[in-house]
Structure 1
């Protein structure tokens, strides 16, 4: 699956200036280890001390944590897994959707569903496990709770997605989602991203829906980026809810990479596979050949082939 999003251009100088002003002040607001929020975590993979300033493609594994109240966000199963590459030279971005039930080897443990890796070893182990699937190791793992995700969508005024087929869920969304362009609030975006059992494509279709939501969030943010104070409030809100081991300069580099994305150069694919039962579990046998082909294609320029 690939997609293109129309762009309303804003000044790169202005964007860099806004981000510099915001993140230049993060030394004052980035949480310390003693007072770490539990809404968002941005973790650097241990293989590197920082992203090389000359490295032009940054890889971030984005994870929606399935943690319940009172549970550790970074030691619970990941309900949404997207491997995102950002090319800082060209503004290209690629997202590789990882079905959460993918049955794969977990370093140091027996094979299991990919999202079990975060339970067993936190974001670091999940990052290594996904790297084994796609052949590209993330530079960072970003984990969020779904309530924070809902608040984010509500704070930007909701999102619009194009839904390819109507579906519902007796627990999350009994009234369902109609086919076509639909407007979603925070709760609706969460439900749209998490429903699986009533989708004909199961885990694969859910991962594609997660990508639709990510695209829509990006579109809404871009539409408001030039409003006075919008970017400042948004970034500071995230930073104040974030637990991270990154310093201000490294945070700035990551945020700058996100701000430089050209919507016309966004491509997205979901790793395919087949459904199976292993050890009494319903799992996905991922197409690792495809996953590694996607990783190889996007490794150097964050661009995926059309049609996956």
Structure 2
């Protein structure tokens, strides 16, 4: 098997995705409610070898007992994988981006998950970027933390020291640093102490996903690693995908070439609506990213 790339930048939950890379991490301790992978209506099945796969990854803010697929989301990353060329791209969407949501007027982009679940959320982000995702992956943050711990922690390149009085009182130092599960979560979620706010947070989420994929790369050549990961996911996730489709997605992640990875964050301007802080996204920029990456998952300069 070819070496795996530091995928995103991975997104997902958080990412999350925080998240797509989580499908290749065997973890029998994950609870069934910790991760959901949904195929969007109208999306075709994966055909590894000549398709570009788009996965929208989001971390759910759902509290224990709440439906994570009907809550407000965080760590929003639209990830493209080119299964033929090995290229990959990640487009970060700040969670406070003010966008139209079909049937609900305009609101923060993460409200689409609350209003209509993964289907409406996928369409909303797709309308902003101009690329409709094939899948939406939703995770809880405890799943993300457990995943990072299970692979032995990750390394990220932090461009600036920053802290948070609640999540991380002792600052993350600048440089190449190691993060455990909790620290990776905090690194992905802190916003107020960053000079670029939501924009810098989204970029940090992409750094965490890169670290996850790079760590997974050290185990990617182990016989049966992806197969065990897919079977573990099937036992512990809520999905409408067949095992064969999950297996193909996992292999698509593993085939990404680290030299062909690019990530960008949709920028915008800060504002207030009804007294609430929001971001007016640069729609032209979002569409430019979508136009560049739609057919081959390749992004140009941000």
**Shorter-chain TM-score above 0.5:** yes
Q: Secondary structure at the match of 2:33?
A: coil
Deviation at 1:68, TM superposition (A): 1.2
Pairing 1:108–2:103 present: yes
Structure 1 residue 226: Cα displacement = 2.3
In the alignment, which residue of structure 1 is the partner of 2:91? 96
Counterpart position of 1:124: 119
> Is 1:145 aligned with 2:140?
yes
**In 1: Cα distance, 2:241 partner to 2:153 partner:** 30
Residue 295 (1) aligns with residue 295 (2): no
- Residue 255 (structure 1) aligned with residue 245 (structure 2): no
User: What whole-Å deviation, never above 9, does each CA across 1:96-149 have from its counterpart, x for those lacking one?
Assistant: 000000000001111000000000000100000001100000000001110000
Q: For residue 253 of structure 1, report the CA deviation from its aligned partner.
A: 2.2
Larger radius of gyration: 1
Say whether 1:272 aligns with 2:267: yes
Matches within 5 A, 1:1-308: 9=3, 37-48=32-43, 50-51=45-46, 56-228=51-223, 230-306=225-301, 308=302
| Counterpart-to-counterpart distance in 2, 1:104 and 1:187 | 31
**TM superposition shift of 1:53:** 6.6
More divergent stretch after superposition (166-175 vs 233-242): 233-242
Deviation readout 1:60-90 (Å, 9 max, x if unpaired): 0011111111111101111110000000110
1:279 and 1:250 map into 2 onto residues whose CA distance is 44
1:250 partner SS: helix
- Deviation of residue 279 (structure 1)? 1.8
Q: Distance in 1 between matches of 2:219 and 2:244?
A: 25
Q: Deviations over 1:158-210 (max 9, x none)?
A: 00001000000111111120111110000000000000011111000000000
Q: Distance in 2 between matches of 1:77 and 1:50?
A: 27
Deviation for aligned residue 1:55: 5.3
Unaligned runs of 5+ in 2: 5-22
Q: Secondary structure at the match of 1:38?
A: helix
Whether contact under 8 Å (2:44, 2:134) holds in the other structure is: no
CA distance in 2, matches of 1:215, 1:243: 25
Structure 1 length-normalised TM: 0.86
The 1:53/1:178 distance shift into structure 2, 3 A limit, reads: closer
RMSD: 2.0
Report the count of equivalent residues: 278
- Could you report, residue by residue, the CA deviation over 1:17-60 in whole angstroms, capped at 9, with x for unpaired residues? xxxxxx9xxxxx9xxxxxx9211100000123634677510100
Q: Unaligned regions of 5+ residues in structure 1, if any?
A: 1-7, 11-22, 24-28, 30-35
| Equivalent residues of 2:81, 2:253 under 8 A apart | yes
Moved over 2 A (4+): 48-55, 226-240
Q: Sort the Cα spacing of 1:43 and 1:55 in 2 relative to 1 into closer, same or farther, 3 A.
A: farther
